[in-house]
Amino acid sequence: MKKGLVVLLVVAAVVLGLYSWFKGNYNNMVKMDEGVQAAWSQVENVYQRRADLIPNLVATVKGYASHEQETLEGVISARSKATQITVDPENLTPEELARFQKAQGELGSALGRLLAVTENYPDLKANTNFLELQSQLEGTENRITVERQKFNEAARVYNTTIRQFPKNIVAGMFGFEKKPYFEAQEGAQQAPKVEF
């Protein structure tokens, strides 16, 4: 009888230990997955801030540079495309992230062309509304960079955890999948040409 009780206690201890280990790892992975999703929400938040600034910037430039219609329409079109693409953090795949990043990159390029055009209008460059909007846009671009870095770090920590043995067993059992990273756009490693 004593031997049976000892065996039963040992089995119960092993089962309890395994349960605790699985529970702890599972809950930790859930916490990290939520961290990645929260970081993604912040990335979308700052991109939305940029999108919200653009109509004001376009309206200000339009008042001074109305014959630059093609550039203005390009910015408006790129903004429209960029705001239409949303990525569900639950289904954050490399393909969806690449599509989102491409649309945001096109918007960034269109904004760059718009700001280059403003160089031809000294009155516009001196306009306080324009200067304030330009400053806010620069600050937003810096925020985008910071939030993308935070997202990549949260994804790195999560991805490392779900790939480590034996946690990868728990991750596989419960469907925790690797999260994609923001990557530099093609050609970003080359310095832009500056001509005067």
Q: Which residues of the chain have pLDDT under 50?
A: 188-189, 191-196
Residues 16-60: tens digit of each pLDDT: 999 999 999 999 999 999 999 999 999 999 999 999 988 888 888
Q: Report which secondary-structure segment, H or E, holds 128.
A: helix 128-163
What is the model's pLDDT at position 191?
A: 45
Q: How far is CA 175 from CA 30, 48, 93, 168, in A?
A: 11, 31, 14, 10
- Say how many C-beta atoms besides its own lie within 10 A of residue 124's C-beta: 18
Q: Is residue 125 in a domain? A: yes
Helices (H) and strands (E) in the chain, counts: 6, 0
- The confidence score (pLDDT) of residue 195 equals 41
CATH code for position 96:
1.20.1440.20
What per-residue confidence (pLDDT) applies to 44? 92
89 part of a folded domain: yes
Domain of residue 98, residue span = 43-146
For residue 104, being part of any structural domain is answered with yes
Residues 6 or more apart from 92 whose CB is under 8 A from it?
Answer: 36, 37, 40, 179, 180
Residue 57 inside a domain? The answer is: yes
* 124 inside domain: yes
| Predicted pLDDT at 196 | 30
Q: Looking at the domain assignment, is residue 107 inside a domain?
A: yes
pTM of the model: 0.78
Q: What is the pLDDT of residue 174?
A: 93
Number of structural domains found in the chain: 1
